[in-house]
Amino acid sequence: MGDAPYSYWVGMDIPADTNAAALADFNHFYTNTHAREVLASNPGFVGGARYELAQDDARGARGPRFLATYDIENEAGALGYIARNDGPPEGRPKYSEGPQAWQQHTTLWRLMWRRILKVPERSAAGAAPYIYLIGMNAPANASAAELAEFNAFYTSVHVPEVMAANGFERGLRYQCLRAFLHPAPGAPGFLAIYDIKDQAAARTHMQRRASPQTGASALSPGPLVWQRHDTLWRLTYRRIE
């Protein structure tokens, strides 16, 4: 993930029986044509990355197979995209039709995020090859004071503890600015992204996720409002472009 203050995400699936040749066509078109058209057609979009799901949520399938993230340099770019989306069809960008494999995709997520926390990388090795995503909601009936307490704990205590406990390279927090599309029960209000430095670290992380340890947690329990949060998904993605 880049350093931009806003990010637009698209998550999609393709048919499970897509063969290797069709998958190659899909990825080539997505990376070399569609993603470039998205960047060129939307002012303020300044970069992007593509990911493939490496580990779904253990509670059931909750993550799209492919995730594209687009960095947006400022609020004007984010709000401009929202305005075009909500405006008449003739004001929206037109994209290339693509090969058959592309035409068979199903879009599951279209989400706009505003960054509320960035923790600097522990190293300068470049873009992380894996990311761990946690989407959650604060309690629906939380007061303004409770929400402030929730965010203060999440930012100042929980994120640093998660990074230290797992050896993650960087942590970021986002708040959902707009959910254009997400399956029921809806998009999470908050997102945390943790960078995983390499394949070995990702393998260890996913093994832990697949076989969680019993016993006391090394993480602070937090205030009551934190203890009432609802985690919608925990997903690990591998960067592919």
Give the model's pLDDT for residue 126: 57
Beta-bridge partner residues of 176: 113
Q: Indicate whether 29 pLDDT > 70.
A: yes
Q: What is the pLDDT of residues 203-219, one digit of tens each?
A: 999 999 998 776 657 89
Give the model's pLDDT for residue 124: 46
Quote the pTM value. 0.94
Would you list the DSSP string of 101-133?
HHHT-EEEEEEEEEEEEEPPPSS---S-SEEEE
Mean pLDDT score, 151-158? 96
Q: Which two tokens stand for residue 90?
A: 């003739």
Mean pLDDT score, 36-44? 98
Q: From CA 135, how far away is CA 149, in angstroms rounded?
A: 18
Q: Where are the domains of the chain?
A: 6-239
Q: What is the pLDDT of residues 86-138, one digit of tens each?
A: 999 999 999 999 999 999 999 999 999 999 988 765 554 458 999 999 999 99
Would you list the DSSP string of 183-233?
-TT---SEEEEEEE-SHHHHHHHHHHHHSPPPS--SS----HHHHT-EEEE
Q: What are phi and psi of 218, to 5 degrees?
A: -80, -5
Q: What is the pLDDT of residues 164-203, one digit of tens each?
A: 999 999 999 999 999 999 999 999 999 999 999 999 999 9
CATH architecture of 6-239: 2-Layer Sandwich (3.30)
Give the model's pLDDT for residue 101: 95
Give the model's pLDDT for residue 1: 63
Q: What are phi and psi of 168, to 5 degrees?
A: -70, 150
Residue 210 makes CB contacts below 8 A (sequence gap 6+) with 55, 58
Give the model's pLDDT for residue 105: 97
Instruction: Give percent of the chain with pLDDT exceeding 70.
Output: 95
